[in-house]
Structure 1
Amino acid sequence: MKNFSLTALLVLGALIVIPQIAQAQPGRQRPPQVVSPEVLEDGKVAFRILAPNAESVRLVSPDLGNLNENGALTKNDSGVWELVFGPVKTPGPIRYRYNIDGVTVTDPVNRETSEANATVFSMAYVPGLDFMQLADVPHGTVAEVTYFSKVLDKFRRMHVYTPPGYEKGDQSYPVFYLLHGASDSDDSWSTAGRANLILDNMIANGEAVPMIIVMPDGHVGRMDRQERGMQMQKFVKEFADDIVPTIEKNYRVKSGRENHAIAGLSMGGAQTLDIALNDLKDYGYVGVFSSGIFGLRRRGPEASNDQPTWEEQHLEVLKDPELKQGLKLLWFSTGRDDFLVETSRASVDLMKKHGFEAVYEETDGGHTWVNWRNYLRQFASQLFQDTPAEAKK
């Protein structure tokens, strides 16, 4: 009993002394708690990062325009740098990073990210547009799917959206292949593009039919100054030989071109036209966002001057009247300020020259996700139904 009491006293004494020692040790103070990003009520966004030893911190964002003049953060006495930006003109996702003394990093206190081909962005979200916000509706699932590409001789990844109820049923669904642009990745359409939430809301509101959406990696490798990742014809072959067979083997996909759609933005739009014109009998719906035929006179940077033009390469398909009859929709849309607007116009003219009923819409804005999310909504509302739904403006 005496031994027990002595042991208890020693333990109790240690519990009293240890916190006092810890408090007395220098450098053990709790660092400032940082909240970042913080969306404020007036539509502004506060970006913060703890970097007490930094000389300068700047905000870097492909979605906020030119930040050379208003992208600098200011440091307070606690070593926390802050920039209140805005109000943001258009609600939605914002990809951003920090440049700290010349080194670009993601936000260490923000777990929301968006992958690109050669980097990762942190993500902020400014609410305000109902069609792409997380809502109390049935939700589909986005899966990261790994497959082996025989064309590229390596394992690859794509993202696949299945609509609400897919896992519980046994019915088959139409499939929509959705391609990203240059420097982005297979992750981009479901993060920066919010494709899954857009479709969840559209399906719930009766604006779109339930469908499977396949979002592959349009780059065959890491982009660099030689743009080795933009070997578009390798991806076009991989798409036909590896991606489509993987989907049709592992998902309940309806057969027939009337149940198959493909669309893409920028680089993905050019890839879309190549894929669709190579196998037009397999696609009933084709969408081109902020894009067209790259290098109408020549195939592009991968080709030499003695190669045939894009039109010459696809002339047999372009002239085939039966293939045109089964094509339910060929839809182009580009912003008036987009640097590819003339490419879009010339591509539409070429398709019309060969008897295609191409639909072309020009919108406000430029080469941005603000437009591409809207284009996705408009295009998806027209898929796989005899009387297309009208996406609400």
Structure 2
Amino acid sequence: MRLNIGHEPLMNRRLYLRIVLAAVIAGLAPAAYAQPPAGRGGGPPAPQVTSSELLADRRVTFRILAPQAQAIRLAAGDIPGVGQTTQLTKGENGVWAVTIGPVNPGTYRYNFNVDGVSTIDPRSPFTSESNNNVWSLLHVPGSDFADTKNVPHGAVAAVHYYSTALGTFRRMHIYTPPGYERSNGKYPVFYLLHGAGDSDDSWSSVGRAGFILDNLIAAQKAKPMIVVMPAGHIRRGAAAPGAVARTATEEFVKDFVDDVMPYVEKNYRVLTDRGKTAIAGLSMGGNHALQVGIPHLNRFAYIGVYSSGLLG
């Protein structure tokens, strides 16, 4: 940068030079003079915490900074052998830690219980929603179909829509395959329904549906498709006077048929003929798949039911 100061008054030239000199000094100051960030109230900086940390032998260390806590447990029922009672040990720096494993490849939910209060891992950006909680996520690589690989990736979007059947806004997650945004073609559609303990977020978070589909499509084991993962639970309020009472399953079916499918067919490039439309579900979602699919066999060529009970 060049400053033209030759014709400025002496006072201005001195001011310019001071600014330039200050900028140079600030830019060249050695890092050794930089002060570490102070803790709250200007005290010493808090310890740096890494959690969860996957070790080379597939053991996993969980840590949380909680200097004032009296007891902390790891709640990780998804991880075999852990359960809800694994205790963390407090270090002198106020960091609690526990190492478990080795843990088999897969994706697992976990939380910390701090003095009786459930909390996600504040050092992990990865979360998953169940029916009534939010969990942190641990992914242990080693699964050929579920790992993140160097292949073309699709996208998973959280989509909000208004349900005319239920009179409220609802959310679903929708996967679009690699190249969808750059193409004009239409795709088969697969409606994937979650179980009673989960939410519309679960298939794409703890279930890693997007990564699995990316890998299968890249390996030519699946055709590019759009996957719709709607919310299976109905948040029911008081029925309007004179309204016909419906079960939660009946309300889900009405929302699905009247709102979910029309929204998808209007806003996404899906093939709507029967041979290109599938529905499947796990547990509660398996029952939902039956309740939607059987009365609408003219719409679905494929119905998948996994570990389902017949629930009302």
TM-score, with normalisation over the residues of structure 1? 0.66
Describe the SS at the equivalent of 1:191.
coil
Give the match for residue 221 of structure 2. Answer: 207
State the 1:2 CA deviation: 9.7
Mapped to 2, the partners of 1:195 and 1:2 lie a distance apart of: 67
What is the distance in 2 between the residues matched to 1:165 and 1:80?
45
Offset from partner CA, 1:62-109 (integer Å, 9 cap, x none): 312464686110011000000101111x31111111000000001111
- Which residues of 2 match residues 39-118 of structure 1 at below 5 A? 39-65=54-80, 67=82, 71-88=86-103, 90-118=104-132
Deviation (angstroms), 1:291: 1.2
Corresponding residue for 2:44? Answer: 29
The residue matched to 2:123 in structure 1 has which SS? coil
> 2:181 matched to 1:167?
yes
Structure number with greater Rg is 2
Query: C-alpha distance in 1, partners of 2:196/2:163?
Result: 20
- Work out whether 1:235 is the aligned partner of 2:277: no
* Alignment deviations for residues 333-388 of structure 1 (CA, whole Å, 9 cap, x no partner): xxxxxxxxxxxxxxxxxxxxxxxxxxxxxxxxxxxxxxxxxxxxxxxxxxxxxxxx
1:109 & 1:258 partners in 2: Cα distance?
46
Contact conserved, 1:47 with 1:82, CA < 8 A, in 2?
yes
Q: Distance in 2 between matches of 1:146 and 1:290?
A: 29
Q: Identity across aligned pairs (percent)?
A: 51
* Structure 1 Cα separation of the partners of residues 133 and 100 of structure 2: 23
Q: Secondary structure at the match of 1:82?
A: strand
**Aligned in 2, Cα 1:222/1:180: closer, same or farther, shift over 3 Å?**
farther
Moved runs in structure 1, 4+ residues, more than 3 A?
Answer: 1-5, 65-70
In the alignment, does 2:149 pair up with 1:135? Answer: yes
Structure 2 unaligned residues grouped into runs of 5+: 1-9, 27-33, 238-246
Which residue in the other structure is 1:340 paired with?
A: none
Deviation at 1:239, TM superposition (A): 0.3
Whole-angstrom distance in 1 between the partners of 2:59 and 2:142: 12
Residues 178/101 of structure 1: CA separation in 2 closer, same or farther (3 Å cut)? same
Quote the residue 1:347 is aligned against. none
Superposed displacement of residue 199, structure 1: 0.7
d(CA) in 2 for partners of 1:173 and 1:2? Answer: 71
Mapped pair 1:266 → 2:312: no
Secondary structure of the residue aligned to 2:262 is: helix
Distance in 1, matches of 2:11 and 2:184, equals 72
Aligned residues: 280
Does the 8 Å contact 1:162/1:212 carry over to 2? yes
Q: For 2:180, what is the secondary structure of its paired residue?
A: coil
Amino acid at match of 1:220: I
CA distance in structure 1 between the partners assigned to 2:135 and 2:72 by the alignment: 16
> Secondary structure of 2:86's partner?
coil
Decide whether aligned partners of structure 1 residues 78 and 194 sit closer, same or farther in structure 2, where only a CA change above 3 A counts: same
For the Cα contact (< 8 Å) 1:273–1:292, is it kept in 2?
no
RMSD value, Cα: 2.8
Which blocks of at least 5 consecutive residues in structure 1 are unaligned? 224-229, 295-299, 301-393
CA contact (8 A) 2:200 2:231 kept: yes
